[in-house]
Amino acid sequence: MEQQVVKDGPIPKFRINRLTLSDVADALADGWRDYRTYPLFGLFFGAIYAVGGVFIAVMLTYYHLPWMIIPVAIGFPLVGPFVAVGLYEISRRHQSGEPVGWASVLAEVFRQRERQLSWMAFVVLFIFWIWIYQVRLLMALLLGFRIPATLNAFAELVLTTPAGLTFLAIGTVVGAVLATILFTATVISMPLLLDHEPDFVTAMLTSMRTVIENPVPMLAFGLIVAISAFLAMLPVFAGLLVVLPVAGHATWHLYRRAITAVN
């Protein structure tokens, strides 16, 4: 049974429920259903990801920084939860029987600037910048400071030399660790902050506890989203028009299965 949305009054306590892989499958199915029910909203928020990704890739190519394209492309979806607030709100309204309109959804997105969710931006951006700087540090240590100015030359350096393969292996492991930390801290905290607005530290701790108590289903969900988002970026980021909106809706539904508010 879904709990009622509480945004005013005393902040409730939260009980973490036991999840299974079937809950993950059901959440993804519900996310796909919400996307099909409100396709224009999904395409709108998905376009923000897609256009942003293309813009970043073009600018990095223009300024001859090909080495940043891969880490930024991988890290770009990590900031997705902020855009996904609109998707959470759509799913919340759909579940509660409230009308879903552009004015109400966008107003809720902009309203987050004055709420606890804005503090999460510092956490996400901090980890994102650690990701970027560790890539630059590894490049300096393993590849030197003379980095090719074109993407093809950089790819050849990374994929065909021992130093490049070492850089790729270490960078992948470090990136996976940082992505896991960020996922653990935000996967539940973002929709929880929209739904009940506890303080952001409580939200992050609740998110971490949820992942720790349900490691297999939660990490499976994160892996599915990460792989899908990466593959969606390959056709000039076009796949993000579908993948990330579905993932946003699915995250809301997984949150509702994972957390119950109790008095």
The angle formed by the CA atoms of residues 38, 190 and 40, to the nearest 5 degrees, is 15
Q: Are 222 and 187 in contact (CB under 8 A)?
A: yes
Q: At what angle do helices 151-160 and 162-186 cross, to 10 degrees?
A: 100
Delimit the domains of the chain by residue range. 13-262
Q: Are 133 and 126 in contact (CB under 8 A)?
A: no
Secondary structure letter of residue 98 according to DSSP: -
Residues lower than pLDDT 50 in the chain: 1-9
**What is the per-residue pLDDT for 1?**
37
Six-digit token pair at 88? 């959470």
Q: Locate tokens 């891969």: which residue?
A: 70
Helix (H) or strand (E) holding 16: strand 13-16
One-letter amino acid for residue 221 of the chain: F
Share of the chain above pLDDT 70, in %: 88
The structure's pTM equals: 0.86
Tens-digit pLDDT profile for residues 106-144:
988 888 777 777 778 778 778 878 888 888 888 888 888
